[in-house]
Amino acid sequence: MTPAVTPAVTPADRQRELAANLKSVWARVEKACSDAGRSPSELTLIAVTKTFPASDIELLTELGVSDIGENRDQEASAKVAQLSVEWNEPAQERVRWHFIGALQTNKARSVAGYAHLVHSVDRPRLVHALAAVTEGRATPLGCLVQVDLDPSPRPGRSGASAAEVPAIADAIAASSGLELRGLMAVAPLGEDPWRAFERLAEVTATLRRDHPEATVVSAGMSGDLEAAVANGATHLRVGAALLGSRPHAR
Ligand SMILES: *Cc1c(COP(=O)(O)O)cnc(C)c1O
């Protein structure tokens, strides 16, 4: 017997699939906004393309998506390089790159080279590394302090505790090459995201007393964007609901 052959997915098929996913994600965002009395224009949708090829980023830009999220420098810089060649201009001109993953200090220079916003600034050492590689820049690098919302933090966690946020925020604000833009968080596994994002809204309110310019709240993923919109998110980081499920959980 001949084994069943999966027909190859053409770029046109993939484009249709991404367009349909984009439409349903925006429908969810609009519903969540109307429930929360907010306007969809307050929300930036970041397509999280980790593990998916650069060709998907290209298709997404053709659909009007201009914010792309990646969580690993090696993968992100390869896609930036590939798209810069294809587009014959720096890929940062067409796409705002959001770095959303754990960041080692030795990758600070590379990430600062293409990122529009680094969402995962969670310790003073990383602030200092980013400050050192951005000093004297004409346009400062946007930074979000990543907050760990887990009430019982695990070792090796990502994100600062709420108590650590002010010092990290002050260090960013004091660096000439960096701009403090706000906060980022991931809802802890096993907890109602509504409760977690309520705590994030409190941390945000506290931060804004000292730093009124810190207006960005990056929260909400495929599974919990409604809870994030209800609790003041300005930036949603959506992967699976737009791109499909990833081959390996990451
Ligand atoms: C992968 C990832 C996302 C997207 O998650 P989905 O569930 O695929 O929408 C958002 N934020 C961070 C930090 C991620 O690593």
Expressed in angstroms and rounded, the spacing between residue 218 Cα and the centre of ligand 1 is: 11
Q: Tokens representing 28?
A: 């969810």
Q: Does residue 238's CB lie within 6 angstroms of at least one atom of ligand 1?
A: yes
Cβ(236)–Cβ(46) under 8 Å?
Answer: yes
Query: Using one digit for the tens of pLDDT, what is the confidence trace for 199-234?
Result: 999 999 999 999 999 999 999 999 999 999 999 999
Summarised one tens digit per residue, pLDDT across range 150-167 is 977 777 778 999 999 999
Reported as half-sphere exposure (CB side, CA atoms, 13 A), residue 79 has a value of 30
Which residue's CA is the nearest one to ligand 1's atom 12?
Answer: 100
| pLDDT reading at 7 higher than 80 | no
CB atoms inside a 10 Å sphere around CB 24: 11
Give 22-62 pLDDT, tens digit per residue. 999 999 999 999 999 999 999 999 999 999 999 999 999 99
pLDDT bucket at 250, cuts 50 / 70 / 90: very low
Question: Ligand 1: distance of its center to the CA of 220 in Å?
Answer: 8
Nearest-10 crossing angle of helices 193-210, 165-173: 50
What mean pLDDT is reported for the chain?
95
Both structure tokens of 43: 């929300």
- Identify the bridge partners of residue 217 per DSSP, sorted by sequence position: 183
Name 242's Cβ contacts closer than 8 Å, sequence gap at least 6.
18, 21, 22, 25, 47, 48, 60, 222
- Ranges of each domain in the chain: 11-245
CA distance to 115, 179, 183, per residue, from 149 (Å): 25, 23, 12
Residue 172, ligand 1, Cβ within 6 A = no
What is the atom index within ligand 1 of the atom nearest the CA of 223? Answer: 7
> 6 falls in which pLDDT band (50, 70, 90)?
low
Amino acid at 212: P
What angle separates helix 73-87 from helix 54-62, to the nearest 10 degrees?
60
Cα of 51 vs centre of ligand 1, distance in Å, is 11
CA distances from 62 to 57, 70, 79, 135, 201 (A): 9, 19, 16, 34, 34
Protein residue closest via CA to atom 6 of ligand 1: 239
Would you state the CATH architecture of domain 11-245? Alpha-Beta Barrel (3.20)
Q: What is the pTM of this model?
A: 0.95
CB 235 within 8 A of CB 204: no
Q: Please tell me the distance between residue 135's alpha carbon and the centre of ligand 1 in angstroms.
A: 30
CA separation for the pair 203, 146 (Å, rounded): 11
Token representation of residue 33: 């906004």
Q: What is the pLDDT of residues 91-140, one digit of tens each?
A: 999 999 999 999 999 999 999 999 999 999 999 999 999 999 999 999 99
pLDDT at 49: 98
Is any ligand 1 atom within 6 A of the Cβ of residue 185? no
Nearest to 237 by CA among 78, 101, 105: 101
pLDDT of residue 1 exceeding 90: no
Cα–Cα dist 59/61, whole Å: 5
Residue having the nearest C-alpha atom to atom 7 of ligand 1: 222
Point out the least confidently predicted range of 46-55, 79-88, 145-154, 186-195. Answer: 145-154
